[in-house]
């Protein structure tokens, strides 16, 4: 299972690596000039343990990996991917660019040429750990994260505190920054008072009906939901009860929702999965999906991040230098208006003060009043 020591080390090392400007750590690391672009429909980022390391709980020894799958069950490493030091990664595809974000910064992959580049990531305020990416209806990326607390484990209460408030927040990509700058949204997506244990590792995904936000509670997973990506999320239940933490969710092309966790098996750590209809109900058992040994990576495979390998929503505003920060702001443009075409069934937004949702009308998807 995920131990208190492991979560403490992850948080402390991640926060120590964050620059004073905010965001993730410097991306001063080697990456290949080009990889073989993945062609299978599902992608997974995760971290393994550095060869020869004696302490695989120490995130300084974590190595970012990238895998692909045809069915969400069997996984293989992406050919040519050169792993690098980093912890708790996530992956997202927009257009022909793949974004892999972790505690060591951002790697972008051009899926046309396979060329790669690295960069730092900065927030408009504060710092972050445990990043998870999604996309707004206008195409900009949105980052869900656990706020960093320098000098302290941000997932737990400080020494001497009997209780504390922990939050999951979000931040929107600054147009034109290509995933490197984010403006923090007001308020919290989730705010909880905890009296012990850890509250960390958010993962955001759409289950076909609503947005689901997973939060790791040590070796367990709690689910929160909202119909508005940038809204307040309400607790729905315990998805994994001491069966694995550091979760990720994905809705497969057949409509099945799959929940992934990592858990310890003896001295090893592996990634497991279980299928459900919504990703919010209690799961009684998980099955092994990926092990480090099967991929030649040693005995540790941890912290899954998942994405569809499809172009997704175009982002016409992303070439602009205008730093508008919310869906509500962009909703007043012609791109989001009642009756206009929309990108994905179930997506939500606002037009002025009117809430709208993306629904099918005939053969088209259009914005309608909720």
Q: What is the pLDDT of residues 60-102, one digit of tens each?
A: 999 999 999 999 999 999 999 999 999 999 999 999 999 999 9
**Residue 227 predicted with pLDDT over 70:** yes
Pair 14, 162 in one domain: yes
Which residues, 6+ apart, have CB-to-CB distance to 259 below 8 Å? Answer: 214, 221, 239, 240, 247, 248, 249, 273, 274, 275, 276, 279, 283, 286
For the chain, report the end-to-end CA distance as a whole number of angstroms. Answer: 41
Pair 253, 347 in one domain: no
Pair 229, 358 in one domain: no
Q: What is the pLDDT of residues 250-272, one digit of tens each?
A: 999 999 999 999 999 998 999 99
Pair 89, 10 in one domain: yes
Pair 200, 345 in one domain: no
Greatest CA separation found in the chain?
Answer: 60
What percent of the chain has a predicted confidence (pLDDT) above 90?
71
Is 319 within a domain? Answer: no
Pair 355, 287 in one domain: no
Mean pLDDT, residues 350-370: 70
**Residue 56 predicted with pLDDT over 50:** yes
122-123 and 181-184 beta bridge pairing: parallel
Is 324 within a domain? Answer: no
Mean pLDDT, residues 194-219: 96
Is 314 within a domain? Answer: no
Mean pLDDT, residues 139-154: 93
Helix (H, G, I), strand (E, B) or coil at 121: coil
**Residue 329 predicted with pLDDT over 60:** no
Mean pLDDT, residues 103-127: 94
Is 326 within a domain? Answer: no
Pair 92, 158 in one domain: yes
Q: For residue 352, what pLDDT is reported?
A: 53
Reading phi first (left if > 0) and then psi (alpha if -120 to 50, else beta), residue 59 is in alpha
**Residue 334 predicted with pLDDT over 70:** no
What does each C-alpha distance from 81 to 88, 115, 129, 193, 317 come to in angstroms?
Answer: 17, 11, 24, 41, 30
Pair 240, 357 in one domain: no
Q: For residue 7, what pLDDT is reported?
A: 42
Pair 48, 120 in one domain: yes
Is 36 within a domain? Answer: yes
Q: Residue 25 — very low, low, confident or very high, per pLDDT cuts 50/70/90? A: very low
Pair 271, 351 in one domain: no
Q: For residue 152, what pLDDT is reported?
A: 87
Is 80 within a domain? Answer: yes
Q: For residue 364, what pLDDT is reported?
A: 65
Q: Residue 151 — very low, low, confident or very high, per pLDDT cuts 50/70/90? A: confident
Question: What domain range is 72 assigned to?
Answer: 4-308
Q: Residue 33 — very low, low, confident or very high, per pLDDT cuts 50/70/90? A: low
Q: For residue 236, what pLDDT is reported?
A: 97
Q: For residue 325, what pLDDT is reported?
A: 33
Question: How many domains does the chain contain in total?
Answer: 2
Mean pLDDT, residues 212-235: 97
Q: Residue 128 — very low, low, confident or very high, per pLDDT cuts 50/70/90? A: very high
Task: Name the nearest CA neighbour of 87 among 295, 262, 260.
Answer: 262
Q: Residue 340 — very low, low, confident or very high, per pLDDT cuts 50/70/90? A: low
Tell which wins on pLDDT, 214 or 334.
Answer: 214
Is 325 within a domain? Answer: no
Give the best-scoring range by mean pLDDT among 201-215, 313-327, 341-355.
Answer: 201-215
**Residue 8 predicted with pLDDT over 60:** no
Q: For residue 353, what pLDDT is reported?
A: 53
- Give the chain's radius of gyration (CA, Å): 19
**Residue 5 predicted with pLDDT over 50:** no
Task: Name the nearest CA neighbour of 10 among 218, 248, 264.
Answer: 218
Q: For residue 42, what pLDDT is reported?
A: 98
Q: Residue 3 — very low, low, confident or very high, per pLDDT cuts 50/70/90? A: very low
Pair 93, 160 in one domain: yes
Pair 351, 203 in one domain: no
**Residue 4 predicted with pLDDT over 90:** no
Q: Residue 354 — very low, low, confident or very high, per pLDDT cuts 50/70/90? A: low
Q: For residue 350, what pLDDT is reported?
A: 62
Average of per-residue pLDDT values in the chain: 85
CATH number at residue 110: 2.115.10
Q: For residue 347, what pLDDT is reported?
A: 74
Q: How far apart are CA 39 and CA 69, in angstroms?
A: 9
Q: Residue 351 — very low, low, confident or very high, per pLDDT cuts 50/70/90? A: low
Q: What is the pLDDT of residues 290-316, one digit of tens each?
A: 999 999 999 999 999 999 999 988 887
Is 317 within a domain? Answer: no
């Amino acid at each position: 299972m995920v131990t208190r020591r492991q979560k403490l080390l992850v948080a402390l090392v991640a926060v120590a690596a964050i620059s004073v400007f905010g965001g993730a750590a410097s991306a001063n690391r080697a990456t290949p000039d080009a990889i073989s672009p993945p062609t299978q429909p599902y992608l997974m980022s995760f971290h393994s343990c550095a060869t020869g390391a004696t302490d695989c709980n120490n995130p300084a020894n974590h190595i970012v990996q990238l895998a692909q799958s045809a069915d969400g069950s069997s996984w293989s490493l992406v050919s040519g991917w050169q792993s690098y030091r980093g912890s708790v990664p996530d992956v997202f595809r927009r257009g022909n660019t793949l974004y892999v974000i972790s505690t060591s910064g951002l790697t972008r992959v051009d899926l046309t040429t396979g060329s790669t580049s690295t960069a730092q990531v900065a927030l408009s305020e504060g710092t972050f750990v445990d990043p998870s990416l999604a996309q707004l209806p206008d195409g900009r990326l949105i980052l869900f994260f656990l706020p960093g607390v320098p000098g302290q484990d941000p997932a737990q209460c400080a020494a001497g505190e009997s209780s504390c408030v922990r939050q999951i927040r979000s931040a929107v990509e600054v147009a034109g920054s290509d995933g490197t700058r984010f403006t923090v949204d007001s308020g919290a997506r989730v705010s909880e008072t905890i009296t012990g244990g850890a509250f960390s590792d958010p993962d955001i995904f759409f289950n076909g009906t609503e947005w689901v936000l997973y939060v790791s509670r040590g070796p367990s997973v709690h689910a929160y939901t909202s119909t508005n990506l940038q809204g307040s999320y309400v607790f729905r239940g315990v998805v994994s009860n001491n069966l694995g933490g550091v979760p990720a969710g994905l809705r497969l092309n057949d409509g099945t929702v799959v929940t992934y966790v990592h858990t310890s098996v003896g001295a090893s750590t592996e990634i497991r999965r279980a299928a459900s209809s919504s990703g919010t109900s209690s799961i009684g058992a998980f099955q092994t999906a990926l092990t480090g040994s099967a991929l030649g990576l040693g005995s540790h495979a941890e912290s899954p991040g998942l994405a569809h390998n499809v172009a997704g929503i175009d982002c016409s505003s992303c070439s602009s230098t205008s730093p508008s920060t919310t869906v509500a702001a962009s909703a007043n443009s012609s791109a989001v208006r009642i009756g206009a075409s929309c990108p994905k069934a179930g997506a939500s937004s606002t037009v002025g003060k009117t809430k709208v949702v993306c629904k099918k009308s005939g053969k088209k998807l259009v914005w309608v009043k909720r």
